[in-house]
Amino acid sequence: MTTRNTPVSPLVLGAMSFGTLVDEETSFALLDRFVERGGVWIDTADCYSFWVSDTGQGGASEEVLGRWLAARPHARQQIRISTKVGAEPLWPGSWPEHRAGLSPRAIRAAVEGSLERLGIDRIDLLWLHQEDRTVAIEETVDALAALTADATVSRVGASNHPAWRIERARAHAKSLGSTPIDALQLNSTYLRTRPGTLPPGVAHPFGVLSDEQRDFAVANGIEIWAYTPLLSGAYDNPAKPVPEVYEHPGTARRLAALDEVSDARGLGRGQIVLAWQLARGIRPILGGSKLDQLEVAMDAAAIALSVDEIALLDGPL
């Protein structure tokens, strides 16, 4: 637990690899340190991480979090859990053609499973993991409205959805007097991909934060959460090259600006990227698997970039 003088961190701890690529002992150590550093939000999903699990299906991350919460009962007073529904394969090897989807029945079943694995009675933020155009968005919202009405879910958000479907969902929720979607989770980092390309790990045509989505979110007071903000370490680790989709003239200019700010500050490029996102009102999700990575990333929350530094970083491509 944090002490009275520990500031609350705006960063999110991503638990995607817990129970698969990150063993339970390390997962517990990361969670404990995150809480000690003032962390509040922990992000997972019912499908994490089916692609590397022994069963070919998800649930391992939520199960590890459930065991951690059971072992740290007082932590629930401080932390908030966000999890996602809709992307779990219907059977091993069936993704993406056959996944749970966002029908009311699928959402109810997924939430019941998540609550059981997490060992909690309330999900603080439930995400629609990726859009499902086989289901009318109004039907999906009806299911969310029932969950918020009985306090099973406190807030709802959407990941990997176009802005127009979010607007339609919000309008329907308001017509019901229900809780509208108030958070978007999308891929976002400092560098920008070439037009028509998607970053590694993003399989959704609307999975990367666009200028339109950000404008829509800002205009409507919707939170933005960013996954893979650090390009899996490529900003600071020479052994991890920047993905090819970012190779264009604008990247050279952006990296030069990033180098200028980070060198002047004596900080890592990744820390400046996190500070830049926070300055833009974006909540980065940390996906590291080592304590030293967590410490460095959480230090970035205390970095206040100057107006001039932000202007330099935001310069034209």
In this model, does residue 2 exceed pLDDT 80?
no
- Percent of the chain residues topping a pLDDT of 70: 98
Q: One-letter amino acid identity for 183?
A: A
In this model, does residue 3 exceed pLDDT 90?
no
Contact 313, 276 (CB under 8 A): yes
DSSP 22: B
Helix (H) or strand (E) holding 165: helix 163-176
- Give the CB-side neighbour count of residue 229, counting CA atoms within 13 A: 27
In this model, does residue 5 exceed pLDDT 80?
no
Higher pLDDT, 7 or 32: 32
Angle between helices 104-118 and 137-149 (to 10 degrees): 40
Average pLDDT (279-291) is 95
Euclidean distance between CA atoms 236 and 20, whole angstroms:
25
Tokens coding 297: 């990333």
SS3 category, 18 = strand
Average pLDDT (283-290) is 93
Residue with tokens 């989770």: 185
In this model, does residue 130 exceed pLDDT 80?
yes
Average pLDDT (102-129) is 98
Identify the structural domains of the chain with CATH numbers, from first to last: 12-313 (3.20.20.100)
187-245, pLDDT tens digit by residue? Answer: 999 999 999 999 998 989 999 999 999 999 999 999 999 999 999 999 999 999 999 99
Q: Residue 120: which pLDDT band, with cuts at 50, 70 and 90?
A: very high
Average pLDDT (77-102) is 96
Give the pLDDT confidence score for residue 10 in this predicted structure.
97
Average pLDDT (75-94) is 96
Average pLDDT (31-51) is 97
156-199, pLDDT tens digit by residue? Answer: 999 999 999 999 999 999 999 999 999 999 999 999 999 999 99
Contact 81, 118 (CB under 8 A): yes
Contact 45, 90 (CB under 8 A): no
Would you please indicate which residues are annotated as catalytic (active-site) residues?
Answer: 48
Give the pLDDT confidence score for residue 7 in this predicted structure.
86
Mean pLDDT of the chain: 96
Q: Residue 312: which pLDDT band, with cuts at 50, 70 and 90?
A: very high
In this model, does residue 21 exceed pLDDT 60?
yes
Give the pLDDT confidence score for residue 203 in this predicted structure.
85
Contact 147, 126 (CB under 8 A): yes
Give the pLDDT confidence score for residue 6 in this predicted structure.
78
Contacts of 209 (CB under 8 A, 6+ apart): 184, 186, 187, 188, 224, 226, 282
